Amino acid sequence: MANTIATPNTAYNTHLQDLIEYPEKGILSKVILKDENCQYTLFCLAKGTEIEEHTSARNATVVGIEGAGKLTLNGEEIALNSGVFVFMPAQAPHALKADENLAFVLTLSEQSQVKKYVSPQTIELIKSTAPLLKKQGQEITKRMYEIMFENHPEVKEQFNMNDQKDGSQPARLANAIYSYATHIDDLEALKSMIEKVAHRHVQTHVQPEQYSMVGESLLQAMKDILGEVATDEVMAAWKEAYQLLAEVFIKREHQIYEQDA
């Protein structure tokens, strides 16, 4: 969401139960407050909704408001219900299932500093995949959207499905990934593309926590399409490279959201 309920640097109080709205299925989220340091979001999950295992680049806390669910954190299952507090370190794998309608507040900590570079080995491996991405990039991105929409159907509303059907969205993403692969050692050359995409993401209300979902879908699509070429070394390089790019976008989009608030 581009707009928040509360205004930064202004006192605010509310009864969280008054903000709860459950969708018929999937997830409804409301950003209560965000500033340069933290973001506080109310999540309302319909009974039976599952969030697949993912990670976050930022420390986070979860506070249960009502309902019941199971949070799996670092392989440990935690009963999530009213009053439960959970701290999740950055990069800790976690997943969630709502056994009943479930509401909780997720707090993301201070923005992490954006990395300025990736390792020389990663640069070499990423550049070596550029010819394959030029040839098979659209197959990869089409498969990525299939995986993401299957695992996270709630995000479909943020996309123009006509652009999915005619292939224009997968084509744009494929071109962006190819450009990144060829310029990973010179991100300044991608400044115009990053700016354009970041503004589009803000218009469609992309949130920082969604980048891990996209990254997992993209990496799986690469493995599906590239087959034996997607060695452990290549996939590790793309994981590192994707994290760098995600952090660049998250930082820029945070700045745009703040300007528009």
Q: What confidence tens digit (pLDDT) does each residue in 223-261 have?
A: 999 999 999 999 999 999 999 999 999 989 988 887 765
Domain covering 120-260 assigned CATH 3.40.50.720 in the classification? no
**The pLDDT of residue 187:** 87
Q: How far is CA 43 from CA 26, 151, 260, in A?
A: 10, 18, 23
pLDDT bucket at 209, cuts 50 / 70 / 90:
confident
Query: Is 209 among the residues known to form the active site?
Result: no
CB 211 within 8 A of CB 250: yes
Average pLDDT over residues 199-209: 89
Greater confidence, 52 or 69?
A: 69
Q: Is the pLDDT of residue 2 over 70?
A: no
Structure confidence at residue 63 (pLDDT) = 97
Per-residue HEC secondary structure of 82-113 comes to CCCEEEECCCCCEEEEECCCEEEEEEECCCCC
The answer to whether 122 and 147 have CB atoms below 8 angstroms apart is: no
100 in catalytic set: no
In single-letter form, the type of residue at position 259 comes to: Q
pLDDT level of residue 45 (50, 70, 90 thresholds) = very high
Q: Regarding predicted confidence, which is higher, 173 or 116?
A: 173
Please give the mean pLDDT across all residues of the chain: 91
The one catalytic residue in 40, 145, 211, 242 is 211
Residue 1 pLDDT: 40
Task: Give residue limits of the domains in the chain.
Answer: 16-108, 120-260
Among residues 209, 216, 247, 253, the one annotated as catalytic is: 253
Q: Out of 7-21, 64-78, 124-138, which region has the weakest mean confidence (pLDDT)?
A: 7-21
**Rounded mean pLDDT of 140-147?**
97
Average pLDDT over residues 46-51: 95
pTM comes to: 0.61
Which tokens go with 140?
A: 């990869």
Buried b (16+ CB within 10 A) or exposed e, 202-227: beeebbbbbbbbbbbbbbbbbbebbe
Q: What is the pLDDT of residue 254?
A: 84
> What number is the average pLDDT over the span 145-150?
95
Is 191 within 8 Å of 199 (Cβ atoms)?
A: no
Hey, which bits of the chain come out as E strands?
27-34, 39-45, 50-54, 60-66, 68-73, 76-81, 85-88, 94-98, 102-108
Which CATH code fits 16-108? 2.60.120.10
What local confidence, expressed as pLDDT, does residue 183 receive?
94
